[in-house]
A and B are shown apart, each in its own frame.
Chain A
């Protein structure tokens, strides 16, 4: 149930993010979801792509610093309180989140939240027990 996520180190310099995305575009790799975390002089670009290992290789060949990590994808209802219901489950199991980001698929009319808890296996277990709908990798990548 773990989704592979790419984390890319980016210097806070003009054109760096575009350079990274160019590498993916030229290799015909579509981005499913993304988020960026930044401090003043650098940032971490997080991406979900259908072929994470291939994307990592390509980016590394272009001197980017890349890591692959795991996140959890959970479907939520695209309405007020949708995300809260998911967070409540984690809260009740005392699972702490490092970060999350969400996106909406218009075709399917559903919203997906990508979660990165400190304890990823604990998170999966809690969400399952709490009745949340976890989305398997194939669906996320393919979507």
Chain B
């Protein structure tokens, strides 16, 4: 089934016409109402009236996360605050979080695009959907919620955690569609197995997952464990949240909701726009957002866009699953982690030299983070218990900084690689290529 056939199966010429009209409107609105954009456009010597074709978008300056952060909290809003009905923020792992503001119409748009996506997964008004995404400032929970309610499905807003309860509800309520992050899904599957749940007795028909990088091996594992197909959800808080691109039952890339978001792929070094099919950094523009229209946002996610005809009948461009990042951000257990945060934590410990290495692994499909730290004279004690305490202290300090538990290993001095130029701080043993 297709939720909005008129939009989702729009002939390309019509879509481009609609996109151009909306692009002109949104650029003007941003220029007139957001001082940041006025300044940026003026500096670049460009006026909203210069946008005559879709290709002209390439003349507009790019927006980065730092730009959004500089406007913290409400500097990017294009409407008076009385028009804003809801706020969300990014996790704020790298500094001040970025704030996202939504008008009533923006929430409606969100509900629309998520309804399209959940319909791709087979959700109907007769179904029960169990939403394990967290409800709160994180956009995951509410995005799924709005879409499901728009369809008229029954939502179980359970959020993440309480895993045994999740499984009990999955069985007792007869959940039809389950939403989770891949790593939580696999954990859920393990606990279900321990609890003796037979997937054949469940009423599940599909799974939607997002917010983390994943491999086809992980998807297969999820599908095998639950015995139903699993579909990908893409989104980011700065632009809206989940619902920017979603996967249809062809399971061959995610359809970008092009009537609301304009995708481009750029070379992250030259900043040139790349043709369809080429891998690069995804750049997104809000075409219809009122509260906080974002023009040409650099997502730092690496993907490619493909225009080939999809067997599902939808005409929206498809993007490949995210296979990497242009920065050194790691996603571990769904949480964004930067090596600089770990360094910051280490520097808070007296006597410690910040020679470290981060090793990410995924044994049994669950992320684990090991931080190897070189022991130093200032740290070394003849007492085993003191060394163990120091290790514990380092673990706690990192936990405070990044929000997830890590294992710290003390290694001998000068054993970690010293590289000329850019240090190799991260060894990611997880493979996202397959």
A residues neighboring B (CB under 8 Å): 5, 7, 9-11, 16, 37-39, 41-42, 44, 46, 63-65, 67, 69, 98, 116
Q: List 11 A-B contacts (CB under 8 A).
A: A7-B382, A9-B387, A9-B412, A42-B410, A44-B384, A44-B387, A63-B415, A65-B375, A65-B412, A67-B377, A67-B380
Contacts of A69 in B (CB 8 A): 382
Most chain B CB atoms below 10 A, which of A9, A39, A69: A9
Contact between B415 and A44, CB atoms less than 8 A apart: no
Q: What are the interface flags for B311-342 relative to A under an 8 Å C-beta threshold, 1 for contact and 0 otherwise? A: 00000000000000000000000000000000
Q: Given the interface contacts A39-B388, A42-B387, does A10 sit within 8 Å of B412 by beta carbon?
A: yes
Within 8 A of A (CB), among B29-81: none
**In contact, A67 and B376 (Cβ under 8 angstroms):** no
CA A42 to CA B385, docked complex, whole Å = 12
A10-B412, A11-B412, A42-B410 known; A67 and B375 CB under 8 Å?
no
C-alpha spacing A67/B386, complex, angstroms = 14
A44-B382 contact, Cβ under 8 Å, with A39-B388, A65-B375: yes
Residues A65 and B377 in contact, CB atoms below 8 Å apart: yes
- Interface hub of A11, A38, A46, A98 (most chain B Cβ within 10 A): A11
B172 within 8 A of A: no
Given contacts A16-B412, A63-B413, could you give 7 more A-B pairs where the C-beta distance is less than 8 Å?
A7-B380, A10-B412, A39-B384, A39-B388, A42-B375, A44-B384, A67-B382
| B377: chain A residues within 8 A (beta carbon) | 65, 67
Q: Is B409 an interface residue (CB 8 A)?
A: yes
A interface footprint on B193-233 (CB within 8 Å = 1, 0 otherwise): 00000000000000000000000000000000000000000
Closest chain B CB from A70 CB (angstroms): 10
Tell me the smallest distance from the CB of A96 to a CB of chain B, in Å: 13
Contact across chains for A63 and B382 when beta carbons are under 8 A apart: no
Contacting residue for A65 out of B384, B409, B413, CB 8 A: B413
CA distance A20 to B414 in the complex (A): 15
Of A11, A63, A65, A98, which is within 8 A of B383 by CB?
A: A98
**Considering the chains assembled together, what is the distance between the CA atoms of A116 and B380 in angstroms?**
17
Q: Nearest residue in A to B412 (C-beta to C-beta)?
A: A11
Q: Does B388 contact A65, Cβ atoms closer than 8 Å?
A: no
Taking the nearest CB of chain B, how far is it from the CB of A43, in angstroms?
8
Asked whether B93 is an interface residue with its Cβ less than 8 Å from the other chain, the reply is no
Q: B423 at the A/B interface (Cβ < 8 Å)?
A: no
Q: How far does the alpha carbon of A5 sit from the alpha carbon of B383 in the complex, in Å?
A: 13
Chain B residues packing against A (C-beta within 8 Å):
375-377, 380-384, 387-388, 409-415
The 8 Å CB contact of A64, one of B376, B382, B410, B412, is: B412
Residues of the B chain whose Cβ atoms lie less than 8 Å from the Cβ of A46: 382
B416 to chain A, nearest CB (A): 11
What residues of chain B lie closer than 8 Å to A11, measured between beta carbons?
Answer: 410-412, 415
Please measure, in the bound complex, the distance between the C-alpha atom of A67 and the C-alpha atom of B384, giving whole angstroms. 13
C-alpha spacing A41/B415, complex, angstroms: 15
CA distance A65 to B412 in the complex (A): 7
Question: Which chain A residues border B383 with CB–CB below 8 Å?
Answer: 98
Q: How far is the CB of A2 from chain B (nearest CB, A)?
A: 14
Instruction: Tell me the minimal C-beta distance from B392 to chain A in angstroms.
Output: 11
In the complex, which residues of chain B have a beta carbon less than 8 angstroms from the beta carbon of A10?
412
Question: When chains A and B are docked, how far (Å) is the Cα of A58 from the Cα of B409?
Answer: 25
Minimum CB–CB distance for B105 against chain A, Å: 56
Q: Which residue of A lies closest to B383 (CB)?
A: A98
The winner among A5, A10, A42, A116 for most chain B CB atoms within 10 A is A42
Residues of A contacting B409 with CB < 8 Å? 41-42
Determine whether the beta carbon of B380 is less than 8 Å from that of A65.
yes
Q: Give Cα A67–Cα B351 distance, bound, in whole angstroms.
A: 15
Q: When chains A and B are docked, how far (Å) is the Cα of A97 from the Cα of B109?
A: 70
Question: Roughly how many angstroms separate A10 CA and B375 CA in the complex, as a whole number?
Answer: 10
The answer on a CB contact under 8 Å between A67 and B415 is no
Shortest distance in angstroms between B419's beta carbon and chain A's nearest beta carbon?
Answer: 18
Question: How far is the CB of B397 from the nearest CB of chain A, in Å?
Answer: 18
Contacts of B388 in A (CB 8 A): 39
Instruction: Quote the shortest CB–CB distance from B383 to chain A (angstroms).
Output: 6
- Residues in chain B near residue A7, CB distance under 8 A: 380, 382
User: Which chain B positions have C-beta within 8 A of A5?
Assistant: 382
Shortest Cβ gap from A10 to chain B (Å): 7
Q: Nearest chain-A residue to B379 (Cβ)?
A: A65
* Contact status A37-B384, CB under 8 Å: yes
Q: How long is the Cα–Cα vector from A5 to B380 in the complex, in angstroms?
A: 15
**Contact residues in B for A63 (Cβ distance below 8 Å):** 412-415
Q: How far is the CA of A37 from the CA of B383 in the complex (A)?
A: 9
Name the distance in Å between A23's Cβ and chain B's nearest Cβ. Answer: 13
Chain A residues closer than 8 Å to B387, beta-carbon distance? 9, 39, 42, 44
A44 CA to B384 CA, complexed, in Å:
7
Q: How distant is the Cα of A44 from the Cα of B385 in the complex, in angstroms?
A: 11
Kindly list chain A residues whose C-beta atoms are within 8 Å of the C-beta of B414: 63
| CB-based contact B381/A65 at 8 Å | no
List A contacts of B381 (CB < 8 A): 67
B-side contacts of A67, CB under 8 Å: 377, 380-382
